[in-house]
Chain A
Amino acid sequence: MADLQTKTALLIGKSLSTVAGITRELQAAGMEIVVGHTPEDAAAAAQITSRTAPLTLNDPAVLDAEIAAVGSIDIAIIAPAWFKAVRFLDSTLDDWDAALHGNFESSVYALRAVGKHLQAQGRGGSILVLSSVAALSAHKDLSVVATSLAALHVPARLAAVELAPHGITVNVVVMGWLPDAWSADYLNADSQPLLEQATPMGRLGTFADLASVCRLLASPDARYLTGVVLSVDGGYTLHKASTPAPR
């Protein structure tokens, strides 16, 4: 996939551990990375890479202009921001507000903004929305995360329809469990062996696994591949009947 070496990817996400992990892998593949971040994450984003862009993720009118100001991009990767393991019966209004805003609403606005930007550039492109296996099969204590992530799948698929005439693909990449600050609340020393056991490939994922699928979907090789929900999970979702219940 040598033709990715001239490509620029914009990563958008409040989950900077995830953004950092993907950035490292894509930079290693020769890609130029811009990290879009909330204003309060400016210092942390600057630790990840030199090109950063503050984004107003809760106001689409402002966000559209901010994304346009980033300049030329080929690929946009939108990473979910909120994770917490909590029983449904104990979940609070604040949990739901934070999840629906952090994972769904701000991602919809990011999707809208990068879609418009790529369309205006007029040379196609690729948008990837990251999700989790938690959105595909029920997990103990993850109803809030799951609901807020699953909601995002539909706008992504509809953006694929709207942007297809412009040569822009939109796909959902479903991450299996991988060690990351984002999901540390669920993925811990107790749960890790159980989750490995529930994965046919017998191990958790890595950022390299995730990034390789992002690279494939962003490359011209995948130009006819749009609107799919692709799990990169070592077969975990095949195996959900035996999904253990950590914690």
Chain B
Amino acid sequence: MRLQGKVALVTGAANDRSIGWGIARALADEGADVVLNDVSQADALEQRAAELRALGRRAAAIPADVTDPAQVNAMFDCAVRELGRIDIVASNAGIIRWQPILETTPQNLQPVVNVNIKGNVYVCQAAARQMIAQGTGGRIIITSSVQADVQFTINPIYGATKYAMHIFTSSLALELAPYNITVNHIGPGWVPSALNDPTPDLQTAAGVERQRQAVPLKRAGEPYEMGRAVVYLAADGDYVTGVGIRIDGGLSIGKY
């Protein structure tokens, strides 16, 4: 239990198939107390928190929209009030809209940019300010995607927001290093979360099988496996900053 006494905040964690919940469970299994966030699904979020309390952890469920800085700041205030401090932030909330680049519309582009870029900006700004005020360093882990590197033709804006998080991560790592705050990102591959339910390539059994064959390790990843990478960065990654860890079963190393 290497994270005993630490408090983590995870955004996008309400759905029980989500990467956010996988991260929260992995952190809790190492002893961390956890603040769970999502934009809605307050009941599900409260249920997730109850599951963590059943493990003996302190947990708080705080719904907030990460695209609204006032709500993000209120969430951090509330989290600190309830659990005392914030040591680890997994800025994980994300959305996806499939649309070819030549058909991209503001209706599709703007929500993806708002959640996947601005949401991370607001959460990371609030996280950094809280960690600096505490004066004991911190760990920020942003959820990127294999789609930052392996691009899907009908998903340019999602890929754009995830790729942008790589330079965002290293820029923050540079600025926050003097405070002993590390900033890294994880790159999940194919994970059967709700976010992937509308994925066009995964709508048929044949499509899922093609996807499975495209992964060198021949299976989808589990949300908990994404969480283990976060645990590494939070618990062991004292000297690791400004980098990304892909957890994709090898999906991104070859095309066929």
Contacts and interface: CB of A to CB of B under 8 A. Distances in A.
* B-side interface size class: 35 or more
Contacts of B113: 100, 104-105, 151
Contacts of B125: 88-89, 91
B129 A150 contact: no
A51 B164 CA distance: 34
A31 B134 CA distance: 59
A76 to B, nearest CB: 13
* A-side interface size class: 35 or more
A147 B101 contact: no
Contact of B153 (A108, A151, A162): A162
Contacts of B109: 105, 108
A38 interface: no
B204 interface: no
Interface in A152-184: 152-155, 157-159, 161-163
A135 B167 contact: yes
B172 interface: yes
Interface stretch (A12-20, A39-47, A137-145, A200-208): A137-145
A59 B107 CA distance: 11
A143 B175 contact: yes
Contacts of B129: 89
A111 interface: yes
B171 A138 contact: yes
Contacts of B132: 89
Contacts of B100: 162
A133 to B, nearest CB: 11
Contact of B101 (A88, A134, A146, A162): A162
Interface string A111-127: 11001100100000000
B167 A136 contact: yes
A116 B100 CA distance: 12
A108 B174 contact: no
A87 B160 contact: no
Given A135-B167, A140-B174, A147-B168, A154 B151 contact: yes
A115 B101 contact: yes
Interface in B95-115: 100-106, 109-110, 113
Contact of B164 (A112, A147, A161): A147
Q: Chain B's interface: helix, strand, loop or mixed, by majority? A: helix
Nearest to B152: A158
A189 B43 CA distance: 57
A112 B171 contact: no
Contact of B163 (A139, A140, A151, A162): A151
Interface string A44-80: 0000000000000011100000000000000000000
A4 B128 CA distance: 51
B242 A138 contact: yes
A199 interface: no
A138 B167 contact: yes
Contacts of A151: 113, 117, 160-161, 163-164
B69 A93 contact: yes
B64 interface: no
A60 B163 contact: no
A164 B30 CA distance: 49
A159 B102 contact: yes
Given A147-B117, A154-B151, A158-B101, A138 B174 contact: yes
A158 B173 CA distance: 28
Interface in B147-168: 148, 151-153, 155-157, 159-168
A154 B175 contact: no
Nearest to B154: A158
Contacts of B161: 151
Contacts of A93: 69
A2 to B, nearest CB: 32
Contact of B156 (A88, A89, A135, A158): A158
Given A105-B110, A135-B167, 10 more contacts: A60-B104, A96-B117, A100-B113, A104-B113, A105-B106, A112-B104, A147-B168, A151-B117, A154-B162, A155-B157
15 contacts: A104-B113, A104-B160, A108-B101, A112-B102, A137-B170, A138-B171, A139-B174, A142-B171, A146-B168, A150-B168, A154-B156, A155-B101, A155-B159, A159-B101, A162-B100
